Structure 1
Amino acid sequence: VVVRRTMAGLRQQGYVRSEKGHGGGWTLVRPLSEITLLDVYRAIGEPHLFAIGPADDQPQCLVEQAVNVALGDAMKEAQALLLRRLDSVTLDKIAADFEAKLTARPAICYSCGS
């Protein structure tokens, strides 16, 4: 279900297309150099970037309120920085890094592990 939703979001934004039947599957519609991590993030529905955030257990607590203000500002800055970084990374950069690492890696014998 998660994969289908993710791919559907990417299809709706025009990054991939799908074909049914034998030999079908998902195909990129645009070059990797034209797709950023920010594009993917937006296409999959902009999920929460961080697992932490302001507390709301005791909304009347002055300590909680003060911490939430400070944490909220820091989280906004961190989110803005991360989104800028996601916008600067294209999928072709990731693919090139993967290929370089794969090429530099010694061959592995899968039957004996050496």
Structure 2
Amino acid sequence: MLHVLVHMGVSDQRVTSVTIAKMLGTSPPAVRRTMGSLREHGIVSSEDGKNGGWRLRKELRDLTVLDVQRALQNGPLLTKPPFQDHPDDGIETSAYRVVAAAYEAAESELKDAFEAVRLSDIALDSVRQSEPRRGITSR
């Protein structure tokens, strides 16, 4: 979905659910559900009718990967570690505690990383990747 939003921001045009569905290899109703979540979070807006479609409500520089993730998924970014089945088992309790601490650290680090990446960064990276390589010639 990130690449769809970046395409929308770069083109600054309305995009239909059918067009997005083709980009994602899914159905227009699935796109409408997903885009509806993004609309509820103020990321996109929609217009009905012949010339309707979806449009970004914010500039790419004002949206982070975390913003999009939070709009599409409630709760933690990572799958939580398994429950502790045998709380009387000291080794299992220790294993759970150590894994849970690592999980919390990873969740926090991923959240910070997603918050640091703006959709404009993705657009800029795409431009850089498409620039011809200097000093390399094809023969």
TM-score range for the pair, normalised by the shorter chain length: 0.7 to 0.9
Is there any run of 5+ residues in structure 1 with no aligned partner, and where? 106-114
Contact 2:46 2:53 survives alignment (8 Å)? yes
Contact 1:37 1:89 survives alignment (8 Å)? yes
Query: 1:15 deviation in Å?
Result: 1.1
Residues 1:79 and 2:107 are matched in the alignment: yes
2:126 is matched with 98
Of the structure 1 ranges 27-36 and 5-14, higher mean CA displacement relative to structure 2 is found in 5-14
Identity %: 35
Matched residues in 2 for 1:63 and 1:26: separation? Answer: 53
Find the residue that maps to 1:66 and give its secondary structure.
helix
1:89 is matched with 117
Residues 1:3 and 2:31 are matched in the alignment: yes
The partner residue of 2:62 within 34, 43, 49 is 34
Superposition TM-score, scaled by structure 1 size: 0.76
After superposition, the C-alpha distances for 1:10-41 in whole angstroms (9 at most, x for unaligned) are 11111100122323221001100000111111
Of the structure 1 ranges 55-64 and 65-74, higher mean CA displacement relative to structure 2 is found in 55-64
Alpha carbons of structure 1 residues 52 and 14: separation in structure 2 relative to 1, 3 Å: closer
Superposition TM-score, scaled by structure 2 size: 0.64
RMSD: 2.3
Of the structure 1 ranges 5-14 and 77-86, higher mean CA displacement relative to structure 2 is found in 5-14
Is there any run of 5+ residues in structure 2 with no aligned partner, and where? 1-28, 134-139
Contact 1:9 1:45 survives alignment (8 Å)? no
Matched residues in 2 for 1:26 and 1:85: separation? Answer: 27
Contact 2:77 2:111 survives alignment (8 Å)? no
Query: 1:97 deviation in Å?
Result: 0.7
Matched residues in 2 for 1:94 and 1:102: separation? Answer: 12
After superposition, the C-alpha distances for 1:34-63 in whole angstroms (9 at most, x for unaligned) are 001111111113354234623444444332
Residue-pair matches, total: 105
